[in-house]
Structure 1
Amino acid sequence: MTRHLVVPGRGVPSAGHWSRSWVSADPEFAWAYEPPGPPFIAADRVAALHAAISADDEPAVLVAHSAGCLIVAVWASEHTGPVHAALLVTPPYVAPGWTPESPETFDGFVGTVPRQPLPFRSIVVASRNDPMATFEQFEAYARDCGSELSDAGPVGHLDSKTGFGAWHDGERLVRSLK
């Protein structure tokens, strides 16, 4: 059995969100930490992710959505642990070396978002019409992180607001990371 740790974005995913469906339907999937919602305190989320990864010697596959992808990047730049791979779903674009001017500009995010190769296999899922990043920005993010790029087509931010529930293509991508 492979353990999958789901890393939520800034908010609390709705009941119909694909990440909630995966966690509730499959015992191999668990929240890396329960989705806390705002404020987005990156240091707290990185610490919680590190605790979840370190709780077991079995390598994990991380499944991150939106701002959760930033948490994975920060974790990988600061820690090591048993991580086999990561699926990074529609990360919001932040420029290389970006640091918010104040914590209020990004719900408490403090620090720089790393843009360096991840020490494990990863796939960035890109949308052709995401309001938080252009396709070219997804391509740059994937290149900087040493990730494969998966073009999901025009899927918005791949969340409940854009009509995604079970997201079977995502399930296939996760299986490809085992």
Structure 2
Amino acid sequence: MSRILLVPGRGRPRPEHWLRRWADAHPHYRWAPYPPGPPFTLAERVAALHHAVTGGREVPVTEPAVLVAHSAGCLSVAAWAAEQTGATALVRAALLVTPPHVDPKWTSEPDGPPDDGVHTPVPRTPLPFRSILVASRTDPYTTFAQFERYAADWGAELFDAGDAGHVETASGYGPWPAGERLLASLHKGSG
């Protein structure tokens, strides 16, 4: 059996968002971070994910986890995996849903708001666990070719979701049966 850890993007998932629906329907699913939501600071999200995966110092865990990440949450997963050595053994698989493209040449403006860490170089090393990357052909933040590059770099299986926007509430995703089937395939295939 695997634990399911939900890794949200930059915002707090609204009640009708598929991630929130999954959490409500499955009380044993856990948020990483808890509570989910802003502000998004990559270093803090990576630390929260590490705590959720390992159980922290107080309650070390041995039960493996399956990560379910949406949007910037996918970047949290990639950043966490890139800086780990042993803890990744506690992750069996990850469902990475529409990670946003981050231009590696981006720099903040001198008078702009402080960098929240999203614009730091996204790790492009292969993930040390099985993963499926859900790609949309109409995502406003990432082209399909950019999704393909993420999948290739991370060693993820690419799932073409078609005309799916950002696979969030505004794109019509409250219930998401295809996502539940993808998670089930990772959950079964990871044990």
* Paired amino acid for 1:112: P
Which deviations, in whole Å up to 9, do the C-alpha atoms of 1:60-112 show, x marking residues without a partner?
000000000000000000124200000000000124xx265238475344642
Q: Hey, what does 1:18 align to over in structure 2?
A: 18
Q: Hey, what does 2:127 align to over in structure 1?
A: 118
Are 2:189 and 1:158 equivalent residues in the alignment? no
Q: Hey, what does 2:38 align to over in structure 1?
A: 37
Whether the 8 Å contact between 1:100 and 1:109 is mirrored in structure 2 is no
Identity score, percent: 57
* Paired amino acid for 2:163: P
Q: Hey, what does 2:92 align to over in structure 1?
A: 84
Q: Which runs of 5+ in 1 are unaligned?
A: none
Distance in 1 of aligned mates of 2:164 and 2:115: 24
* Paired amino acid for 2:100: P
Q: Hey, what does 2:181 align to over in structure 1?
A: 172
Specify the SS of the correspondent of 1:132. coil
Distance in 1 of aligned mates of 2:170 and 2:117: 24
Q: Hey, what does 2:79 align to over in structure 1?
A: 74
Specify the SS of the correspondent of 2:145. helix
* Paired amino acid for 1:35: P
Q: Hey, what does 1:141 align to over in structure 2?
A: 150
Out of 80, 91, 107, which is 1:101 matched to? 107
CA shift, 1:36, in A, is 2.6
RMSD: 1.7
Specify the SS of the correspondent of 1:139. helix
* Larger of the two Rg values belongs to structure: 2
Q: Which runs of 5+ in 2 are unaligned?
A: 56-60
Specify the SS of the correspondent of 1:149. strand
TM-score for the superposition, normalised by structure 2: 0.86
Distance in 2 of aligned mates of 1:156 and 1:76: 27
